Amino acid sequence: MTGTGVRFERPRLAVVKVGSSSLRGPDGRLDRAQVAAVAEQLVAAQEAGTQVVLVSSGAVAAGMGLLGLERRPTDLPTLQACAAVGQGELIHEYQQVLARHDRAAAQILLSQDDFVRRARYLNARTTLRRLLELGAMPVINENDAVATEELSYGDNDHLAALVASMLEAQLLVLLSDVDGLFDGDPRVSSEVGLIARVDDVDALDDASIGGVGSYVGSGGMRTKVGSARVAVRSAAHAVVANARRPDVLADVLDGRDVGTWFVAQEQRLEARRLWIGFALRVHGQISVNEGAVHALRVGGASLLSVGVVHADGDFAVGDAVEVLGPDGRVVARGLSNYAVTDLRRIAGRSTSAAAEAFGSGFAREVVHRDDLVLL
């Protein structure tokens, strides 16, 4: 990207995620002025012709203020209590701004099951689309009072990517407290540079961005890169940018050279493979040999028992598993045709040998290629 022209056409629909670090003040509580600034930018985006769905963190910070807590809790029950108390306050802060523009905020709390169970998935999608038709602005958060993933790991990045895929948005905007993805850690060196454009998110690895200690190795940026991967495979662009940069959302939507741009793939991965690869919770790992990795990546084959070295976890038939290569890296995700105990029995055996030893029920693939997503 040279800075001339625009990155992409203005999207008809964008999913905007703002992280908790971008909505907390110096005291750790909700920064109401920042929430208002975000809301004003969302309204401006709508008025400029882009429908917007907001995925917002910040409920815990809001709850801390209402409960009189000086420090962010570290135990899960108190975190969830803060989220339960703060969620209403968070939506109220957004609604105050939207109401001045004759717009309504629609609170939506989602969990992983809403993406895994087809009936709930379709209902959530229908509801969100109808809200947009009515001119309301969906404000989405994970259901933190009963779920644990966002509070512990994802900070809503993954949720936002799944929402973008669900709605077939053209753009995912991840607003955070950093300017984008760097080729090193800007907290320890002033010599690192911002990566303005990523054409192949799967090519990002430790070697290409400064080693294990690079900034992408931090939990926050790792989840953003993972979320960008979901978006681009859904044929959506993704941009990581600083939430506190003036007019950041307007600049991103206009295709200006702001933050890190992850370029969308032309072909959208089919919904079922997106579901297998990114929505399902993984219940175990299957370690395979190099021959199996080659067969999966180059040959487009199913995973067979002869290539399995070991199986870990507690998975049953139909559960999602990760497939790990000899170096321990994730090669693919898929749905296992075996429970972990049965897979350990046949690991390393050919399909025919497994069937001969244990019966015709073992004459099947470990993971069929139709149930497999390469990562």
**pLDDT, tens only, 178-230:** 899 988 777 777 778 899 999 998 887 654 444 333 444 445 788 888 899 99
| Rounded distance between C-alpha atoms, residue 31 and residue 20, angstroms | 10
- The answer to whether residues 163 and 231 touch, using CB atoms and an 8 Å cutoff, is no
Across the range 305-324, mean pLDDT stands at: 96
258: DSSP letter: -
List, in order of start, the domains of the chain with CATH numbers: 13-273 (3.40.1160.10), 281-374 (2.30.130.10)
Give residue 289's Cα distance to chain centre: 29
| Torsion 196-198-199-205 (CA) sign | positive
Per the structure block, which two tokens stand in for 9? 């056409």
pTM score, two decimals? 0.82
Across the range 57-83, mean pLDDT stands at: 89
Across the range 8-25, mean pLDDT stands at: 93
Q: What is the pLDDT of residue 147?
A: 63
Q: Residue 288: how many CA atoms within 13 Å on its side-chain side? A: 27
Q: Please name the helix (run of DSSP H) or strand (run of DSSP E) that holds residue 26, with its range, or none.
A: none
Q: Residue 133: how many CA atoms within 13 Å on its side-chain side? A: 7
Amino acid at 65: G
- The answer to whether residues 204 and 135 touch, using CB atoms and an 8 Å cutoff, is no
361: DSSP letter: G
| Rounded distance between C-alpha atoms, residue 281 and residue 283, angstroms | 6
